[in-house]
Structure formats: structure tokens, C-alpha cells
Copies of this chain bind each other. A is one copy, B any other.
Amino acid sequence: MSPWGTHTAQSRALALDPWISQVTTGVTARLEEFFAEKHGHARELSPRAPELISAVEDLTMRGGKRLRPLAIYAGFRAANPHVSEFDWQAILTLGAAIELLQSYLLIQDDWMDDDDQRRGGPSTHVAMAQKFGDRRLGASLAILAGDVAMGFAVELLHATQFPPRRTYEALRSFNDMHMEVVFGQQLDLLAHEDVSLTQNLKTGSYTVRGPITLGALLADASQAQLTALMKFAQPLGVAFQLRDDLLSMFGDPAKTGKPAGHDLREGKHTALVAEARRLLSASDRACLDAVLGDRSASADAVQAAMSMLEYSGARARVEAKLASRLSEAQSALAEARCLDAQGVEMLMELIDRTALRNS
């Protein structure tokens, strides 16, 4: 049974699908326009600039579910059901900004984690290293491509016309989101013991909380609406990350694009691993630790570690936490009298796309 009540994910998805595809298509088209314009301008500045822009474009256009623009749109609609043509353009510009912020974060993250693949292609530092036959130069150029993506994100943020009295708040919200991700990434690199703090900062901020807040500010939401949306977005952000942990460990590799147990070999400090380390006996914990971060671990060793995540009860606990966060998010919506009903439906659809997704 679906954890959020009587509807099934599928029936709602069918009913509400048009807004999903409109936002997705609209943001993708806005990004295409933006890159075309930037290529023209950059060529005048420097003959090599288009290469750096192409690196950002390749990653940005290669996919992604455009989840964050969907969150912006749903946040807007929950606060204000009337989307004028002017509002729609602002939503697409802001959506493009946040997709570029994500490209910047992914480029840096992949380099820091030494990940070769992203969105079905080489990660940016790998693509650059291949192009120039030099790993170090590849890493430097990837960081510069990330800088370009961040610069583009800020440019599009500035081009987004917020209601004048909300502009400063919106810019601050964007900056806070950026800072939270960076501090979250720092905790991740330092293998900080409080995994939920790391994940809340690293992912929760810019995946759910930030975009919903920005969409609501664009709609000139009331303080009561902003508070209600935060009560929803906070647990949903956690649920999204827990789902991410579960999927990259136990998901169908054909759908997630990651080999089973990938996170173990990478040594990622996921909620699953943290729970297992807490629940396992000392000897089992030592076995798990031996696999963690060992990129050459055998398939058998990874399989054994994965079964520990199951029999320790870690998987069940993470699933229970996920269900509990989801029910918090749903209660927040159910209690929020100040939000528009159709917008609330969209936020519920967002739950499917984030915390109940299969890939």
C-alpha cells in the first residue's frame, strides 16, 4: 500500500502528468536557449571558452529528472494557484538556475569522490582528462567548468524577477542553500559521524527545501504558507536522501545506473552503513569496515556486506525512518489550511518523484 493514504502513486501521476512534462520540457528548452546564447557570447571573449561551456552543457542536458524545477513549480502553486505568463517565465529561469547549481555541485562531487560516471556518461573531470590526456589538467578544467556552471546559476538567479519585496529574501535563500550544500559536502569528506546532519545539509537543502522556498517566494507566499511548506519540505528532504541510500544499495542496477553495492566500495557514509555499524556485533562490524571504501573488494565480499545491512536490521530501520519522515511530510500537508488544494496535489506528486522513486 502506498504510505500516503488512499490514492496510488500511479493514479495521481496519470492525473497530474501534464504539469510534470510541461515544467520538465520548459526548463530543458530554457537551458538550451541559454547555452546557445552563452556559446555565442563566450566565443567573442575567448576562442577556447566554448569548450568549457560545452562541458557544462553536456552534463546539464544529458539528463537529470529536473526534480528541483518541479519542486519550484509545486512550491509556487501551493502558495498561489494563478500562474501568469510572466510567472511561468520566471519559474523556468529559476528552474534553469537551480539545474546549473546542481551541475556545479555534481562536477565537484564526482571529482572529490573519484566517480567516473554520471548520468550515463563520463563525469566531467574524466571527460576533460580523456580529452587532454592529462588527469591533473582534466581535474583543473573540471573545477573551472564547475565555476562556469555556478556563475551561470547566479546569472539566471539574477535574471529571475521575484516580487520586489521578496527579492532580497530569495537571493539569501539561494545563498543559504549553496552554503549548506558546501558544509554538507565538507562533513561527507570528513566522514562525520552524524550522517543525518550531513545528508540534511548536503542534499535536503537544495533538493527539496531550497527549491520549494524559492518557488513560494516567487509566488509572494505569506509567512504562514512559507512555514507550512517548510514543515513539509524538511522531512521530505530527509526521506529523499534515505530513498537515495536504499536505491543505490538495493535498487535495480539497470534502473539506477549504479552497480549493486556501489556505495560500499566507494566508502560512502550513508544512513544504511551508519545504522548497520551501530547494530552489528564487533566482529561483523569489522567485516563491514573492511569492505567500506575498498574499490577492489570482491563481488562476494560486497554481497556479504550487503547481506549484513539486511540481517542487522539496518535496511528495515532505514525503511521505517523513511516511512516516518514521509508521514510527517504528509501530515504537514494535510494540516496546512493556507495552501492551495491543487498545489498540495502537486506536492504529493513530488513525494512520488523523490521519496518513492525506483531509480
Residue A179 at the chain B interface, CB threshold 8 Å = yes
With the chains together, A140 CA to B139 CA distance in Å? 11
Question: Interface 1/0s, chain A 276-301, versus B by CB < 8 A?
Answer: 00000000000000000000000000
Find out whether the CB atom of A158 lies under 8 angstroms from the CB atom of B168.
yes
From A161, which residue of chain B is reached at the shortest CB distance? B168
With the chains together, A180 CA to B144 CA distance in Å? 11
Q: Nearest Cβ in chain B — how far from A157, in angstroms?
A: 9
Find out whether the CB atom of B45 lies under 8 angstroms from the CB atom of A141.
no
Band of interface residues on A = 35 or more
With the chains together, A60 CA to B111 CA distance in Å? 26
Find out whether the CB atom of A172 lies under 8 angstroms from the CB atom of B158.
yes
Find out whether the CB atom of B148 lies under 8 angstroms from the CB atom of A182.
yes
Find out whether the CB atom of A183 lies under 8 angstroms from the CB atom of B143.
no
Find out whether the CB atom of B155 lies under 8 angstroms from the CB atom of A186.
no
From A134, which residue of chain B is reached at the shortest CB distance? B189
From A52, which residue of chain B is reached at the shortest CB distance? B186
Find out whether the CB atom of B178 lies under 8 angstroms from the CB atom of A141.
no
Question: Interface 1/0s, chain A 30-49, versus B by CB < 8 A?
Answer: 00000000000010011111
A201 CB contact (under 8 Å) in B45, B151, B183? B45
Q: Which residues of B contact A48 (CB under 8 A)?
A: 183, 186-187, 190, 192
Q: Which residues of B contact A158 (CB under 8 A)?
A: 168, 171-172, 175
Q: Which residues of B contact A45 (CB under 8 A)?
A: 179-180, 183, 201
Find out whether the CB atom of A151 lies under 8 angstroms from the CB atom of B137.
no
A112 CB contact (under 8 Å) in B46, B140, B178, B183? B140
Q: Nearest Cβ in chain B — how far from A263, in angstroms?
A: 18
From A178, which residue of chain B is reached at the shortest CB distance? B151
A interface SS class: helix
Find out whether the CB atom of A140 lies under 8 angstroms from the CB atom of B182.
no
Q: Which residues of B contact A141 (CB under 8 A)?
A: 186, 189
Find out whether the CB atom of A175 lies under 8 angstroms from the CB atom of B154.
yes
From A201, which residue of chain B is reached at the shortest CB distance? B46
Find out whether the CB atom of B140 lies under 8 angstroms from the CB atom of A143.
no
Q: A171-B158, A186-B49 are known contacts. Are A179 and B151 too (CB-CB below 8 A)?
A: yes
With the chains together, A158 CA to B154 CA distance in Å? 11
A143 CB contact (under 8 Å) in B47, B112, B148? B112
With the chains together, A143 CA to B144 CA distance in Å? 11
175-211 of chain A: CB within 8 A of chain B = 175, 178-180, 182-187, 189-190, 192, 197, 201
Q: Which residues of B contact A218 (CB under 8 A)?
A: none
A151 CB contact (under 8 Å) in B52, B148, B182, B189? B182
Residue A150 at the chain B interface, CB threshold 8 Å = yes
Q: Which residues of B contact A168 (CB under 8 A)?
A: 158
Residue A124 at the chain B interface, CB threshold 8 Å = no
Residue A108 at the chain B interface, CB threshold 8 Å = yes
Closest 6 A/B residue pairs (Cβ)? A112-B140, A49-B183, A46-B183, A158-B171, A147-B182, A155-B175
Apart from the given pairs A108-B143, A143-B143, 20 other A-B contacts in the complex at a CB distance below 8 Å? A42-B179, A45-B180, A46-B183, A46-B184, A46-B197, A46-B201, A47-B192, A48-B187, A48-B192, A49-B183, A49-B186, A108-B147, A112-B140, A147-B150, A147-B178, A147-B182, A148-B182, A151-B179, A158-B171, A158-B175
